[in-house]
Amino acid sequence: MITGTAITKTFRQRGGVLGHREVPALRGVDFAIERGGAVCFIGESGCGKTTLGRIIAGLETCDSGEIVIDGTPMSGLSPRRRRPYFRRVQMIHQDPYSALNPTRTIHQTLRAPLALRARQTGRPKPWIDARAEELLALVGIDPGYVLPRYPHQLSGGMRQRVVIARALTMDPEALVADEAVSMIDVSLRLGILALLRRLREQLGVGVLFITHDIATARYIGDESELYVLYRGQVVEHGPTETVINEPVHPYTQSLLSATPVLHGLERPGPDRIVPTEALDERHGDAGCLFARRCPLATERCERDRPVLGHDPAYPTTQRHACFHPRRRQVIPLAAGA
Amino acid sequence: MTVTALPGAAGRSRRATLRRNFWRGVWRVLRRKPSRMAGVAICALFAVMGVAGPLLYPAHLPRDDDALYAPPSLSHPFGTDFEGTDVLALVVTGSRYVLLTGLATAVITVALGTAVGLFAGFRRGWQDTLLMRLTDLNLAIPGLPLLLVLSTVWKFESPLEMGLVLGLLGWGGIARAVRSQTLSLRERGFIEAARGLGLPTTHIIGRELLPSMAPYIAMNMLIAVTGAVYAQVGLFFLGVLPFEANNWGVMLNLAVFSGGALTTPAALPYLLAPLLAILLLTLGIVLVVDAMDEIFNPRLREE
Amino acid sequence: MERHLTAPGVRIRGLTVVYNTPSGELPAVSGVDLTLAPGTITGVVGESGSGKSTLALSMLNAVQPPGRISAGSVEIDGLGDVVRLRGEELRRTRGRKVGYVFQAAQNSLNPLKTIGAQLLDLGRSHDVGDLRALVRDARELLGRMGMDGARVLDSRQHELSGGMRQRVGIMFALVLDARVVVLDEPTTALDMITQATILRIIREVHDERALTTLVITHDVGAVAEVADDLAVMYGGRVVEHGPVAEVLGAPEHPYTRGLIRAIPRLSGDLGLARALPGRPPTLGTLPAAGCVFRERCESSLDLCRTAEPVPAARAGRTVACHLPGPHAVPVKRKEYA
């Protein structure tokens, strides 16, 4: 089990004459993922979701806050002692084209981590090749076909499966899938999502799914939780189906409204929200972070920052950070209904 | 326990297959353009010349006092020198020193430059800063004047000594280039994935980074050979190095300064023969360099 | 500048584009007939390797070696057959008559020059007499797309976000007053909100400037939002072509059906959603005879192995399939007729 508490991260950008400009990427994010659970982080580019994923995978460190893996807080450990813990969290990169070394065959790519794993667990050498074939079969590709090949000989979908198989070599507890399907043909995305779902059920691997496409979050499986990130803050959090079907935060509603409508199959939801401006990090930090783009913002939103929680005046299943929560019908409806 | 032995054997044969496929790929790449085959042939010719050439001639080349500066003929295709020695024989016997120096220089520059560049680019931080200052220092050393000074105390009798000095002077450029390549490669997904998997640094540098840079390194190595040939031939030509044995630079020097090849046509073949050899060697290398990208990139190799 | 407000029609007939490979010349586009009605937006959808990008390049007669147009014609009103154009005449056509927004337009700007400088280069290379007017038009267009035109023209690529670069790409395609516009994957790598904005802009600019637009994408959702007509490509053939709502609402071709079922959606039954089986064909793996889709088809017939289906009119569209239609789902004309 992995939990994060009050994770913050600020990037310093070089900004001309006046020296550095600070860009907060994460402003106190809490999350928890159970064994075999699924957590989705949703937001547009620049919302901090990728940074969060990298921190969870141990590829970056946070400025403050705590990551706890299996009851062990990471902040007290030296980088060397942290490594075995973060090895239990494997990253699946967005781009299956750059995630595999073009000069190495799939066999070589899988063999290196498996050899390491064999040493760690005291397994004999023959286990390595057997395990490579087993893992490829698990992710749904023919080992005989794939093993001797180079990445350029495989399709995008196959490469992403190989990447997942490589992540599984370390017997991870959780996978961080950062936009894991966005560079794959739409026609094959559901296959990868179904695979992640199956890994949850079969192996009890937790999945942290990071995406800008909120629709894909539905396919990660039951009992998943959705966190909507906006400029480094969680603005809405709850069970995935609830957040998608009954969103209360205007930002969540904008994200959902932006999902294309398949005319002929669907018709647009009646309450679609279009955010007024593009995301600009230079927007001030006073008040609600979304206020500048929110069509519903009031004076209070410009002044105070709402915190994530339940609103006693407007009870919902999910937590949200909005002064004016209201359920809106923004997702497309079936065309006939 | 034949069962446990089998997969190991399978792994070995898999590696053997890979190696075989690699060399087949190399052959395919070379055959793609006739110019590449020509380049390989030229390089092979020089290699044979360097290894076996001196064995074809007696230790002391025969002189023919009746034919000083003889014009090209059937028995002397490039004429003779001031002592009546066959110029072609001089070119062939002189090639070993030149080629060995070139090779030694190339190996040292590439090994040092690649090691420094890889380490600096991969580690970053203070190691990077330190190594890059060292590189700057190396780049800032004026090579020729230093060699002039060195030659007053050192005779450079062995080509390896010469190669060592030239190599130690010349690794800076490659270190810089390899470092910048490493910096961009280390951001690639597969390097990050290797780190996330906890693979050892030696694996990441040796097995993941290095092969991606192989074409680059190989090209630099070949080009370093030509650079080293020019440098040492130049030094001998200028006459700043005392020469014990015969080599191309010495020939040029004697042709111009003793034979007056720039003014008298008689010594012209004596001047042109080593020049032609250098030109041919450079041409061969340039033609081979053209194939490097395709040889080390599996996609281009297979097509 | 006076604009004659009639959009040109485009008729592609028997277009075949072959690529020279080690195993001979292989067709990436084979015998495609496609008519773009004046003033419509046509979406071309297909997986990677379906030939859609090659088709788009043919509209400019810009197929690069080792590819070449081996047969067929692309007739554009007021311009004639683009395939026959050569040299200077062809160069002038590109940009002036046919605007093109390249795949990954985000990265196709010169990083060293300001947008304004690149605009002037474009103007000079097309012998635009009044460069001031050109800049004015560009500023107007950028303003129309919700940007500060003057600021953008003074910017370099790295100062603009992905969505802004895409809009700059659209500006370049339109500023010389091209009436036929081809957009290749205009929303790939953009997040949902930016994608929605770009799609809206494409639609609005299309209507205002009386264009005939072709949008190439692998994302059915993205074209469903903007297009009037939808052409589905597979293995270098157009397998179904008709009005968007009808093709999506009642797909006739099994490939179209599979493609639609594979879209991750916000509504609809999760259990019915499924990735397309198999993998997209490549030039080398296309079957030589019969229907190109038969190996991935759920209901292929014996006939499909031997005879290639000819595109034929049915149910208000063109379909290339041996299976008899119409299928179980009736066209819902209630709302979209």
Domain ranges (residues) in chain A: 2-88+172-334, 100-170
Beta-carbon contacts of B27 under 8 Å, excluding residues fewer than 6 positions away, are none
CB contact under 8 A, A90 and B196: yes
Q: Which residue would you say has higher pLDDT here, C34 or B152?
A: C34
Give A76 to chain C, closest Cα distance, Å.
Answer: 37
CB contact under 8 A, A331 and C266: yes
Token pair for A167: 């992540």
CA distances from C24 to B280, C19, C48 (A): 37, 8, 21
How high is the pLDDT of residue A333? 86
Question: Does residue C42 surpass a pLDDT of 90?
Answer: yes
Who among B4, B199, B214 is closest to A113 (CB)?
Answer: B199
How high is the pLDDT of residue C334? 33
Token pair for C48: 């990677």
How high is the pLDDT of residue C335? 33
Give A44 to chain C, closest Cα distance, Å.
Answer: 6
* Cα pseudo-dihedral C251, C254, C255, C258, rounded to 10: 80
Question: Does residue A251 surpass a pLDDT of 50?
Answer: yes
Size of interface A-B (CB pairs under 8 A): 90
Q: Which residue would you say has higher pLDDT here, A162 or B259?
A: A162
Q: Pick the residue from chain A with its C-alpha nearest to C248.
A: A264
- Tell me how many degrees the CA angle A195-A198-A200 measures, rounded to the nearest 5: 115
Ranges A87-91, A128-132, A152-156, C31-35: which has the least confidence: A152-156
Q: Quick one: DSSP state of residue C189?
A: T
Residues A168 and A148: their CA atoms lie apart, in Å, by 19
Question: Looking at beta carbons, which residues of chain B come within 8 Å of A152?
Answer: 298-299
User: Is residue A106 within 8 Å of residue A149, measured between CB atoms?
Assistant: yes
Who among C244, C264, C279 is closest to A216 (CB)?
Answer: C264
| DSSP state letters, chain B | -HHHHHHHHHHHHHHHHHHHHHHHHHHHHHHH-HHHHHHHHHHHHHHHHHHHHHHHS-SS----TT-TTPPP-SSSTT-B-TTS-BHHHHHHHHHHHHHHHHHHHHHHHHHHHHHHHHHHHHH-HHHHHHHHHHHHHHHHS-HHHHHHHHHHH----SHHHHHHHHHHHH-HHHHHHHHHHHHHHTTSHHHHHHHHTT--HHHIIIIIIHHHHHHHHHHHHHHHHHHHHHHHHHHHHHT-S--SS--HHHHHHIIIIIT-TTT-GGGHHHHHHHHHHHHHHHHHHHHHHHHHHHHH-HHHHH-
Q: How confident is the model at residue C337 (pLDDT cuts 50, 70, 90)?
A: very low
Within 165-204 of B, beta carbons closer than 8 Å to A belong to 188-190, 192-200, 203
Predicted model pTM: 0.86
Q: Which residue would you say has higher pLDDT here, B239 or A232?
A: A232
Question: Does residue A114 surpass a pLDDT of 60?
Answer: yes
Q: Which residue would you say has higher pLDDT here, C336 or C2?
A: C2
CB contact under 8 A, A44 and C191: yes
How high is the pLDDT of residue A83? 87
Tens-place pLDDT, residues C205-248: 899 888 999 999 988 988 888 999 999 999 999 999 999 999 99
Within 231-270 of A, beta carbons closer than 8 Å to C belong to 244, 254-267
How high is the pLDDT of residue B248? 86
Question: Looking at beta carbons, which residues of chain A come within 8 Å of B208?
Answer: 101, 104
Q: Pick the residue from chain A with its C-alpha nearest to B303.
A: A153
Ranges B58-72, B90-104, B247-261, C284-298: which has the least confidence: B58-72
How high is the pLDDT of residue C62? 87
CB contact under 8 A, B196 and A57: yes
Interface check B300 vs A, CB under 8 A:
no
Residues C152 and C142: their CA atoms lie apart, in Å, by 8
| C43 closest CA partner among C196, C174, C229, C182 | C229
Within 154-183 of A, beta carbons closer than 8 Å to C belong to 155-158, 182
| A186 closest CA partner among C169, C243, C301, C43 | C43
Question: Does residue A196 surpass a pLDDT of 80?
Answer: yes
Q: Which fold has domain B55-283?
A: MetI-like fold (1.10.3720)
Who among A192, A193, A264 is closest to C248 (CB)?
Answer: A264
How high is the pLDDT of residue C3? 47
Report the residue of C103, C267, C283 to disrupt the A interface, i.e. the one with the largest count of A CBs within 10 Å.
C267
Within 271-300 of A, beta carbons closer than 8 Å to C belong to 274-275, 278-279
Neighbours of chain A (3+ CB pairs under 8 A): B, C
CA distances from C335 to A113, A266, C245, C257 (A): 56, 11, 10, 21
Size of interface A-C (CB pairs under 8 A): 148
Residues A118 and A265: their CA atoms lie apart, in Å, by 51
The percent of residues above 90 in pLDDT, for chain A, comes to 58
Homologous superfamily of A2-88+172-334:
P-loop containing nucleotide triphosphate hydrolases (3.40.50.300)
Give A90 to chain C, closest Cα distance, Å.
Answer: 23
The percent of residues above 90 in pLDDT, for chain B, comes to 20
CB contact under 8 A, A259 and C161: no
Question: Looking at beta carbons, which residues of chain B come within 8 Å of A83?
Answer: 198
Q: Pick the residue from chain C with its C-alpha nearest to A186.
A: C219
Which domains, ranges and CATH numbers included, belong to chain C? 10-240 (3.40.50.300)
Interface check B242 vs A, CB under 8 A:
no
Beta-carbon contacts of A182 under 8 Å, excluding residues fewer than 6 positions away, are A94, A211, A212, A213, C189
Question: Looking at beta carbons, which residues of chain A come within 8 Å of B17?
Answer: 148
CB contact under 8 A, B298 and A101: no
Who among C199, C225, C270 is closest to A219 (CB)?
Answer: C270
Question: Looking at beta carbons, which residues of chain A come within 8 Å of C193?
Answer: 44, 254-255, 258, 275, 278-279
Token pair for B235: 């030094």
How high is the pLDDT of residue C106? 63
How high is the pLDDT of residue A280? 60
CB contact under 8 A, C244 and A264: yes
Tens-place pLDDT, residues A145-182: 999 999 998 888 899 999 999 999 999 999 999 988 88
Residues C90 and C209: their CA atoms lie apart, in Å, by 23
CB contact under 8 A, B4 and A102: no
Within 29-48 of A, beta carbons closer than 8 Å to C belong to 44-45
Mean pLDDT of B248-276: 80
Mean pLDDT of chain A: 89
Domain ranges of chain B: 55-283
